[in-house]
């Protein structure tokens, strides 16, 4: 990977920090977030944050793994530097969702899921994926 | 307890009126025995289920604030302590974090109030049922109310995530090494099965998009509890209950497990109190817990 932070990306990263209230440069890459993450991510939380630290905004934003975050908050709880990877991941997801790029389709949704799942799963799912 | 039950404003949330009716009914029946009444708010809306993790849009806080306003009005009108009781862990987390956010930042409250017809003053303290049992009733007092011999029950306390995290905002217990459910089960006289996966995530709302991952995570939790000798798990979260219970329908994934009932902690409390559990929807569980109750000598439906 070519490390070449561009001005445009620096601006987007600052906007992400404002949106989430997080300071990305605080991360010192200890990897505790990744060690505790239950989501089996191909691109784990510490790598997503490292992309951002290196100014590679699109690498972070387009990591498919952000959609596997279940907001269990284990990463945020264990971070020794008080960074919340879960909040940063949600900030990245929101950029897609606000661009009207949802990750589940209402039409294609499993009827059995809607009939049998607790309301909280449906409402949370709508908030996180649509 | 005193003859006149204490009334506490109670917020149920959507799931409690649909898929988790057994949770609410068992909690209400137990409250009656203990000596308090869960007084449902007259006018309530969905809390939004998940607290927004980003700070750039406060719209996600309007729904929980509307609930807090309703509770505040009720408490002021009746001149009672400004507490709001919750059962559902998602509701508890969302309302508690909203309470915390306003406590930290009055500007946030002003901004949200600007969107609401009724203004919230910020007085309500959100309390979970389990927290009420521990801090107000006391587990030692609870132990004195137990009527059934529960010593044969091998129960694993399963906490999940949102009852405990983030600790600095929820503050109920240690998120890595919690004891509140352990102590609750101890008070009932159950054999408490401490197991490593007690705070692992069940997969939560990912069930909407990646149910196979939820099935795997649920298996890991149940297999771990099973390995440590648990016959059943208790939880306070309807989504944990659903994921752990319904996932067991996947016969391939769960081939080596016999079927482990997953109970709401209040359903087990009702058994310990010797209550009639007919309305507690035990039959709605994918893994029916009733054979376990019978095997452990507490056929509570016949009482």
Smallest CA–CA distance from B50 into chain A, residue: A124
Average of pLDDT values for B133-140?
98
Average of pLDDT values for B276-285?
96
Smallest CA–CA distance from A120 into chain B, residue: B49
- Where along chain A do its domains lie? 7-99, 104-130
Tell whether the model's pLDDT for residue A3 goes beyond 80: no
From the list B180, B184, B188, the residue with the least C-alpha distance to B144 is B188
Domains of chain B: 6-129 (1.20.1050.140), 139-302 (3.40.50.11810)
Q: State the nearest Cα–Cα gap between B105 and chain A, in angstroms.
A: 13
Model pLDDT for residues B195-211, shown as the tens digit of each residue? 999 999 999 999 999 99
Q: Using CB atoms and an 8 Å cut-off, which of residues 3-22 of chain B contact chain A?
A: 13-15, 18-20
Q: Which two tokens stand for residue B7?
A: 């009334």
Distance CA B120, CA B248 (A): 44
Q: For residue B158, what are the CA distances in angstroms to B152, B222, B265?
A: 19, 10, 10
User: What's the first-to-final CA gap in chain B, in angstroms?
Assistant: 23
From the list B189, B120, B178, the residue with the least C-alpha distance to B149 is B189
Average of pLDDT values for B139-162?
98
Average of pLDDT values for B172-189?
98
Model pLDDT for residues B71-114, shown as the tens digit of each residue? 999 999 999 999 999 999 999 999 999 999 999 999 999 999 99
Distance CA B65, CA B287 (A): 37
Taking the Cβ of residue A29 and every Cβ of chain B, the question of whether any pair is shorter than 8 Å is answered with no
Taking the Cβ of residue A127 and every Cβ of chain B, the question of whether any pair is shorter than 8 Å is answered with yes
B244 or B3: which leads in pLDDT: B244
Tell whether the model's pLDDT for residue B215 goes beyond 60: yes
Smallest CA–CA distance from B162 into chain A, residue: A72
Average of pLDDT values for B185-194?
98
Distance CA B31, CA B6 (A): 10
Q: State the nearest Cα–Cα gap between A6 and chain B, in angstroms.
A: 24
Does the beta-carbon distance from A86 to B53 stay under 8 Å? Answer: yes
Model pLDDT for residues A10-55, shown as the tens digit of each residue? 899 999 999 999 999 999 999 999 999 999 999 999 999 999 999 9
Cis peptide before A50 (omega within 30 of 0): no
Q: Using CB atoms and an 8 Å cut-off, which of residues 73-112 of chain B contact chain A?
A: 88, 90-91
Question: Contact, B276 vs B301, CB < 8 A?
Answer: yes
Tell whether the model's pLDDT for residue B1 goes beyond 50: no
Per-residue confidence (pLDDT) for residue A2, from 0 to 100: 57
Question: Contact, A32 vs A78, CB < 8 A?
Answer: yes
Question: Which chain A residues are Cβ-neighbours of B209 within 8 angstroms?
Answer: 67, 103-104, 125, 129
Q: State the nearest Cα–Cα gap between A125 and chain B, in angstroms.
A: 5
Q: Which two tokens stand for residue A54?
A: 């290196």
Q: pLDDT grade, residue A6 (50/70/90)?
A: low
Q: pLDDT grade, residue B303 (50/70/90)?
A: very low
Q: State the nearest Cα–Cα gap between B177 and chain A, in angstroms.
A: 13
State ipTM. Answer: 0.94
Q: Could you tell me the pTM of the whole model?
A: 0.95
Could you identify the residue written with the tokens 């620096």? A10
> Per DSSP, which regions of chain B are E strands?
6-11, 36-40, 83-86, 125-128, 154-157, 191-192, 232-235, 262-264
Q: Percentage of residues in chain B with pLDDT exceeding 70?
A: 97
Query: Class assignment of domain A7-99?
Result: mainly alpha
Per-residue confidence (pLDDT) for residue A8, from 0 to 100: 76
Tell whether the model's pLDDT for residue B153 goes beyond 80: yes
Question: Contact, B18 vs B88, CB < 8 A?
Answer: no
Q: Using CB atoms and an 8 Å cut-off, which of residues 56-115 of chain A contact chain B?
A: 67-68, 70-74, 76-77, 84, 86-87, 90-91, 94, 103-104, 109, 113
Q: Which two tokens stand for residue B30?
A: 């137990």
Q: Which residues are CB-contacts of B241 (< 8 A; sequence separation ≥ 6)?
A: A118, B20, B23, B235, B262, B263, B264
Q: What is the mean pLDDT of chain B?
A: 95
Q: pLDDT grade, residue B50 (50/70/90)?
A: very high
Indicate the Cα dihedral angle A41, A47, A51, A57, nearest 10°. 20
Per-residue confidence (pLDDT) for residue B74, from 0 to 100: 96
Could you identify the residue written with the tokens 């600007």? B114
Model pLDDT for residues A72-99, shown as the tens digit of each residue? 999 999 999 999 999 999 999 999 999 9
Does the beta-carbon distance from A94 to B88 stay under 8 Å? Answer: no
The β-bridge partners of B156 are B233
User: What's the first-to-final CA gap in chain A, in angstroms?
Assistant: 31
């Amino acid at each position: 990977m070519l490390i070449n932070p561009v001005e445009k990306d620096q601006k987007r990263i600052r906007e992400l920090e404002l949106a989430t209230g997080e300071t990305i440069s605080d991360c010192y890459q200890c990897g505790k977030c990744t060690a505790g993450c239950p989501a089996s991510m191909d691109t784990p939380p510490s790598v997503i944050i490292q992309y951002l630290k290196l100014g590679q905004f699109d690498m972070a934003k387009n990591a498919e793994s952000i959609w596997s975050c279940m907001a269990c908050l284990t990463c945020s709880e264990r971070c020794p530097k008080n960074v919340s990877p879960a909040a940063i991941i949600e900030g990245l997801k929101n950029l897609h969702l606000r661009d009207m790029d949802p990750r589940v389709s209402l039409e294609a949704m499993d009827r059995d899921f809607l009939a049998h799942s607790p309301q909280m799963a449906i409402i949370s799912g709508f908030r996180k994926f649509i | 307890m005193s003859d006149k039950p204490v009334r506490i404003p109670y917020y149920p949330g959507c799931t409690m009126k649909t898929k988790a009716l057994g949770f609410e009914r068992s909690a209400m029946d137990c409250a009656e025995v203990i000596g308090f009444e869960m007084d449902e708010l007259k006018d309530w809306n969905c809390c939004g289920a998940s607290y927004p993790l980003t700070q750039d849009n406060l719209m996600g806080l309007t729904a929980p604030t509307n609930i807090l306003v309703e509770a505040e009005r009720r408490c002021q009108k009746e001149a009672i302590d400004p507490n709001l009781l919750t059962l559902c862990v998602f509701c508890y987390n969302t309302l508690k974090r909203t309470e915390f956010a306003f406590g930290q930042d009055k500007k946030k409250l002003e901004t949200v109030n600007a969107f609401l017809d009724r203004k919230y003053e910020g007085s309500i303290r959100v309390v979970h049922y389990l927290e009420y049992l521990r801090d107000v009733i006391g587990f030692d007092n609870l132990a004195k109310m137990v009527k059934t011999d529960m010593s044969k029950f091998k129960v694993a306390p399963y906490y999940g995530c949102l009852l405990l995290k983030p600790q600095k905002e929820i503050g109920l217990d240690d998120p890595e090494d919690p004891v509140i459910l352990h102590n609750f089960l101890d008070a009932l006289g159950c054999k408490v099965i401490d197991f490593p996966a007690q705070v692992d995530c069940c997969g939560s709302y990912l069930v909407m998009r990646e149910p196979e991952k939820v099935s795997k995570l649920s298996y890991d939790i149940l297999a771990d509890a099973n390995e440590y000798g648990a016959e059943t798990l208790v939880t306070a979260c309807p989504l944990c209950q659903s994921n752990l219970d319904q996932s067991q329908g996947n016969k391939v994934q769960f081939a080596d497990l016999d079927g482990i009932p997953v109970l709401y902690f209040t359903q087990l409390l009702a058994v310990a109190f010797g209550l009639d559990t007919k309305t507690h929807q035990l039959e709605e569980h994918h893994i029916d817990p009733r054979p376990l109750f019978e095997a452990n000598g507490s056929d509570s439906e016949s009482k």
